[in-house]
Structure 1
């Protein structure tokens, strides 16, 4: 959730998106004079008397009143004006905005305590939350920032994306346009801290410790082992990390352990429940390969679309990792597609959106869904989602390891493997860095899955080469007929696009490592997620599984827009651990997995049986 630290290393242009905090200092006079922006730091008061650290950057080459583009962040505000216009702001700067950045309550110089709470209280106007802080700050800005037009837009990626979205709850009259990008609505569901109730362990450690151990800076968690896989495995049950390492100093992490089920701790913070009629134009943005927040922005769009008589809500998605649409992106991780989809989004969608609603120039943006489709590498426009003409099509897993659109006979039986919590399946190649300590984190969901070949606890099912392109647009679902010898279990399902063996020529004069970079035979994950057995019947009241009983496991694989090209094959992989991005399931039922004992972790025999399938929304 600390947006784009790695991307900053390759594009210093992303100041407005990825404000990685540094110790705050007054800008030097020379920096002020050389920058295309003037710089001012103020403390903005809000309704309970707290004051929030706020930086105002005004373009020097614009005269006359300008609208405000406002971003609220926990990651720190600029301590000096940028030396040049950030790359993702070039198209915005052609229209002209006063850029305002604010440290959220309890971070850096802002007063208060940073709790990470996403709860809102529209029925209690005297209670402060992130929506009221946004409202009060906008009210102050339009009254006190010189030369503004009285129109405000909010935007941001990740936490700033949430901070923009939550301003839609009781929006200030001056708020005329909002773009929540990689935002989220529910810590328990399918974004930062859980996936369908399974704890996102390594990410929770790195993100929450960075936000709560020190108010005044963003600090990477320091591991004492080079391979973080080994570090997490050595700690045993998750509660030992809280006890031995954090010692209760990361309150949100402790709260996650105290609330393993989808109880009111989470649902009371689901701020999107308070969204009513869509009254503010909204540009929601998500990445199909977003390794942090792929789900929430879609849910905001779906909620807005339920009551959008003026057609103000738009959804944009593409083959992007977390926030990479704000960079010069023209590749899906190691797969170049030659189209500058990041700059195209910035220039053709984002800038016109704010220009129309804040400047009154250009054409009114259309609502619906705009998608940069992977595989075809082209932009598509859809009137809504699901798209017209998409047909649910069942792709079956067969006991011989094949994959086809032909239903199996019941006599096919099952395939099995042994899942051992002492040797969990790694989620990316080892050795693993900490989340923010290498570029590997950004694109791990697009990494070649051949690194798992040979593991006996990963089942693979592969189709014949496709005789025509297959377009999948919409919500993908896995439906396993599966069993475990334990009383609890996880199943991880991956939908993979397998490139032909001759997809690329081998390098004539390879340097060390070049041969392995070829796309020949590449196994590209399209959709991956986990389902925890204890929550199959209820996410509030977990139940033990009946050993060896074949049960239907629905595994939501979220929204996608992808073309499996002719000659490619489709693969599905099934496994029962994904470590340490997901905490280990002990495979014996306990009241709280985080507080399991070492003795609770047992081997289990897993079965994937006839009738298991992937349901694809196929567009013909």
Structure 2
């Protein structure tokens, strides 16, 4: 039975009435062009190129523009209301207006193969439908992104989900592929389009239960959060893999420093691929006679430049960054969620677990978290639980065992393709043998929802670098409730101490370094994107050159110490410049003299102002507002707190904790930074009784750690090197 609330029925009734309002639907303008209003947007189509037009409300010009060479003009950020263009009246709806009635979705028919889905504003979205073997109806999943999920030549994920028994629907976001409309990363109208996609697919006779789930990793993982916030009544569950939480603070500007190594190139690539025929496969469709795809390229010249939006907004501003901050609307998601992420994710950054405690509206939130790369969320240790979730919450069936075909074949084939390691097997998962669906669901829901996979790549008895964990621990919530904020204090001679110093400032001189961001290679990995997913990528993780950074190291630990969550490096700094960029890195130094990378964090010191309501001892949250920017005062030590991104690491007895501080660069794969502030200034760090610089980690007691440490080179996305001490 379809899930339809009273509120949804009321909204549908209201929308049906609004359909008769003048100008809401696409209309021909007396001046010879077409007006297509959408949520807080207005498209002008088929106009004469070069025509100057005004958007007028109550006799005042609200926006102006010139029709481009393709005959199009798009006005964005338009308040809902009545407007006129060249004498023609039009009504612009609001993002929060009611959705179309069910008849709007029931009236659209999708067949196996290539289709178009019509969104509420008349924009058509290209969609490709793939059926699994057998007779329908089928449990159904949707992948929705600005990559190329509707390209008939893109078969990998369609085949994967078909093999698992799901119908797969790949849909291109507006302004990409063969979809119509204009494109801007994650703008609100894409969320409404996603609602319309879900409801249209769910209305098909071949969609089992007339409900669908959403799937996808990275970009199509992120879009799930945006669609789910609109609460489509026939969305059953979402599975965001390798995603973001707060786009500004996690990926674009971590610590207020622009990420030019991944974020900027990704924005540039999105601009290129959303240009007319930008993905390439569209031309083949048009050449074969697809006139809809051809017409849908005509609004692309109105795409804003996403790269300019990023670089022109170095501070957090609500107008742009609230739009791309899923933490602000995560509480609206009201379906079960399965999230997977890797701490050292070289693309999105691994900060996404910080959205988990914001998903307060979801009835069930599950997460599998692991060390490793961007594709680790599809690793052998996670895929079985992920498939269980889809079976239970989308297909409503008892999950198959992990060693059953085709599940095991899919998982091991995918693992070999991504990592190059052959001959692997999925680890055994929970057994649902002999259970009814209701019993299997209750069994799944009875387990702790947060699963942390430790030491991925070092599973006992498996080849080094395999996408399997060495051990797994589960927790009831995130952040881990029993984690205890534990501090190590920076000493004046490079030591990390369990207790704060007692010396006064006059008795202990501050140490200093010269900020030289080019002293190291920009990134620890510069090969291909797919190459880093292999079992043993070639990293270039170097020690900081003398006098360009500082390090502190603890005494050997007296017992195993497991940290799970974010960390904080609280520093008292002074500089001969009015600002500086900081990079902090946490590593483990083993008794045999090898050093293993754990995690990093960044901060532009001028962004040091904290959101006091959100910050904790283990997680500093900065406002990043231009109004809160403060230069460093001269001749005075100032406290700054740098967030270490989330991680999970067992530090064994006998190992030592090490942190380093320098200018950004040379710590992470692919990531590089626009360190325009850091350029030769001297930075002092005070470590005395009144300036208690410290490292604070979330130490979780009661975790059993395998006695022997694995070979450091086996750990996925955690390079190792020789410690010089």
Deviation at 1:293, TM superposition (A): 2.1
SS state at 1:617 partner: strand
Question: Compared with structure 1, are the counterparts of its residues 350 and 576 closer, same or farther at alpha carbon in structure 2 (3 Å cutoff)?
Answer: same
Alignment partner, residue 78 of structure 2: none
Alignment partner, residue 607 of structure 1: 684
Deviation at 1:134, TM superposition (A): 1.0
Alignment partner, residue 207 of structure 1: 266
Correspondence for 1:105 among 157, 161, 174 = 174
Deviation at 1:452, TM superposition (A): 2.5
Paired with 1:418 and 1:499, the residues of 2 have a C-alpha distance of 28
Deviation at 1:281, TM superposition (A): 0.6
SS state at 1:199 partner: coil
SS state at 1:355 partner: helix
Alignment partner, residue 415 of structure 1: 511
Deviation at 1:385, TM superposition (A): 2.1
Paired with 2:257 and 2:330, the residues of 1 have a C-alpha distance of 27
SS state at 1:301 partner: helix
Correspondence for 2:663 among 576, 590, 599 = 576
Alignment partner, residue 283 of structure 1: 338
Correspondence for 1:303 among 351, 358, 372 = 358
Alignment partner, residue 539 of structure 1: 624
Please give the TM-score of this superposition, normalised by the length of structure 1: 0.72
Alignment partner, residue 106 of structure 2: none
Paired with 1:112 and 1:75, the residues of 2 have a C-alpha distance of 15
Q: Would the aligned equivalents of 1:477 and 1:555 in 2 still touch at CA under 8 Å? A: yes
Question: Compared with structure 1, are the counterparts of its residues 204 and 357 closer, same or farther at alpha carbon in structure 2 (3 Å cutoff)?
Answer: closer
Q: Summarize the alignment of residues 66-145 of structure 1 with structure 2, pairs less than 5 Å apart.
A: 66-77=138-149, 79-80=151-152, 89=160, 96-118=165-187, 120=188, 129-144=189-204
Alignment partner, residue 381 of structure 2: 344
Deviation at 1:93, TM superposition (A): 5.3
Paired with 2:341 and 2:369, the residues of 1 have a C-alpha distance of 5
1:478-537 deviations in whole A, cap 9, x for unaligned? 111121111011111101012343xxxxxxxxxxxxxxxxxxx44222120101111112
1:222-266 deviations in whole A, cap 9, x for unaligned? xxxxxxxxxxxxxxxxxxxxxxxxxx9971111222211111221
Alignment partner, residue 494 of structure 2: 401
Deviation at 1:618, TM superposition (A): 1.3
Correspondence for 1:251 among 285, 305, 310 = 305
Select the structure with the greater relative contact order (CA < 8 A; seq sep ≥ 6). Answer: 1
Aligned-residue Cα RMSD (Å) equals 3.0
Question: Compared with structure 1, are the counterparts of its residues 576 and 267 closer, same or farther at alpha carbon in structure 2 (3 Å cutoff)?
Answer: same
Deviation at 1:55, TM superposition (A): 1.1
Question: Compared with structure 1, are the counterparts of its residues 444 and 482 closer, same or farther at alpha carbon in structure 2 (3 Å cutoff)?
Answer: farther
Question: Compared with structure 1, are the counterparts of its residues 467 and 416 closer, same or farther at alpha carbon in structure 2 (3 Å cutoff)?
Answer: same
Paired with 2:650 and 2:605, the residues of 1 have a C-alpha distance of 31
1:84-112 deviations in whole A, cap 9, x for unaligned? 8889x3xx656510011111111111111
Correspondence for 1:439 among 531, 535, 559 = 531
SS state at 2:216 partner: strand
Q: Would the aligned equivalents of 1:182 and 1:296 in 2 still touch at CA under 8 Å? A: no
**Structure 2: segments with no counterpart, 5+ residues:** 1-110, 281-301, 399-439, 457-468, 610-622, 702-725
Q: Are positions 1:186 and 2:241 aligned together?
A: no
SS state at 2:247 partner: coil
Deviation at 1:420, TM superposition (A): 3.4
1:463-491 deviations in whole A, cap 9, x for unaligned? 23333211112221111112111101111
Question: Compared with structure 1, are the counterparts of its residues 466 and 283 closer, same or farther at alpha carbon in structure 2 (3 Å cutoff)?
Answer: same
Q: Would the aligned equivalents of 1:447 and 1:524 in 2 still touch at CA under 8 Å? A: no
Alignment partner, residue 315 of structure 1: 367
Paired with 1:64 and 1:573, the residues of 2 have a C-alpha distance of 58
Paired with 1:259 and 1:82, the residues of 2 have a C-alpha distance of 35
Q: Would the aligned equivalents of 1:105 and 1:114 in 2 still touch at CA under 8 Å? A: yes
Please give the TM-score of this superposition, normalised by the length of structure 2: 0.62
**Structure 1: segments with no counterpart, 5+ residues:** 1-37, 121-128, 220-247, 327-341, 502-520, 588-601
SS state at 1:102 partner: strand
Alignment partner, residue 499 of structure 1: 590
Alignment partner, residue 3 of structure 1: none
Deviation at 1:389, TM superposition (A): 2.7
1:288-339 deviations in whole A, cap 9, x for unaligned? 111222455323321113x45x4x112221112112221xxxxxxxxxxxxx
Deviation at 1:78, TM superposition (A): 5.9
Question: Compared with structure 1, are the counterparts of its residues 428 and 455 closer, same or farther at alpha carbon in structure 2 (3 Å cutoff)?
Answer: farther
Deviation at 1:561, TM superposition (A): 1.9
Deviation at 1:428, TM superposition (A): 2.7
Deviation at 1:447, TM superposition (A): 4.9
SS state at 1:300 partner: helix
Deviation at 1:357, TM superposition (A): 1.0
Paired with 1:94 and 1:523, the residues of 2 have a C-alpha distance of 42
Question: Compared with structure 1, are the counterparts of its residues 497 and 139 closer, same or farther at alpha carbon in structure 2 (3 Å cutoff)?
Answer: same
Question: Compared with structure 1, are the counterparts of its residues 304 and 443 closer, same or farther at alpha carbon in structure 2 (3 Å cutoff)?
Answer: farther
Alignment partner, residue 466 of structure 1: 557
Paired with 1:109 and 1:304, the residues of 2 have a C-alpha distance of 33
Paired with 1:145 and 1:554, the residues of 2 have a C-alpha distance of 55
